[in-house]
Structure 1
Amino acid sequence: MDEKRMMLRHFLAALAYRTQKALRDAPEGFGDFKAGLKVRTPHELVRHMDSVLGYARTYLIGGSYRPRVHAEFAEAIADFHGVLEDLARHLEAGTEFQGITPEVMLQGPFSDAMTHAGQLAMLRRLAGCPVAPENFIFAEISAENLGMDQPLPVSPDKEWPEKL
């Protein structure tokens, strides 16, 4: 596997980590939290992240992608992680890019999904249950772990303004 593919796989692992950090220990009903008019709920955001990455995968395998609609937030989260894992498998296997470069994959759909992980964290704050900041340089992120079971922060901030 070349260095660009390794970097993309690691980026997907960072996305899995940051998404789960934003969702871990969220209060019941967080998936349906409405921050305001025309603002996606966390459930809608995760489905959109699934869609963005499923779309990215079409640049490796062709076809089209439509994420499933789930009544349960947990099922949408599981689908999102499934798409992450499948994308990473194709990167590792050397599946050829079709009509896109690794750089454009990173600047487009991968970065879009990471932006939404940040929005999930912001929604946690707006919902009154902020996520503790951490020094991500020390986070235990592994390209081998793209699932929901992500490690706890190694270096969380001890003091932070929003701490309840």
Structure 2
Amino acid sequence: MRNAPGGFAEFQAGEGARTPVEILAHIGDLLDWGLSMANGERKWNDSKPLPWDDEVNRFFAAVKKFDDYLASGAPLQASLENLFQGPVADAFTHSGQIGILRRMAGSPVKPENYFKAEIQAGRVGADQIPPKREF
């Protein structure tokens, strides 16, 4: 999502394929769904995509809400296994699709070594520590 070029949101890989902004909206829906399962609401929403920057903000807000709930100690109304094999795994899959579309659109994401990344619980927003090692 970071440094996506202008026009990327509407990049069309092929007829009938979701655009990056449609995928990002779906990821936001998945994260909202995960939170709703965790707190017992179990509610799905199929959102109409917002402009790219708004969807990016929505994504980070959804990650924060989900993360805050998981870290709160509140009782989970769904197992961690189901939360991670369902909405979280699905969101990871779709984030990979966005990465592939970036490459297809001529603006690949620079690879980095996530094993060496500085991970900090609760730091889930766009403001991340720069990569320690890019390939």
TM over 0.5: yes
Question: Is 1:74 equivalent to 2:40 in the alignment?
Answer: no
Rounded Cα–Cα distance in structure 2 between residues aligned with 1:138 and 1:115: 22
Q: Which amino acid aligns with 2:25?
A: R
**Structure number having the greater helix percentage:** 1
Q: Where do 5+ consecutive residues of structure 2 fail to align?
A: none
- RMSD of aligned C-alpha atoms? 1.6
More relative contact order, 1 or 2 (CA 8 Å, 6+ apart): 1
Following superposition of structure 1 onto structure 2, how do residues 1-164 of structure 1 map, counting pairs within 5 Å?
23-63=1-41, 64-66=43-45, 68-98=47-77, 100-157=78-135
Rounded Cα–Cα distance in structure 1 between residues aligned with 2:50 and 2:92: 24
Deviation at 1:66, TM superposition (A): 2.4
Rounded Cα–Cα distance in structure 1 between residues aligned with 2:79 and 2:119: 24
Alignment length, in residue pairs? 134
> What TM-score do the two structures reach when normalised by structure 1?
0.75
Q: Name segments (4+ residues, structure 1) moved above 6 Å.
A: none
The sequence identity of aligned pairs, in percent, is 35
> What TM-score do the two structures reach when normalised by structure 2?
0.90
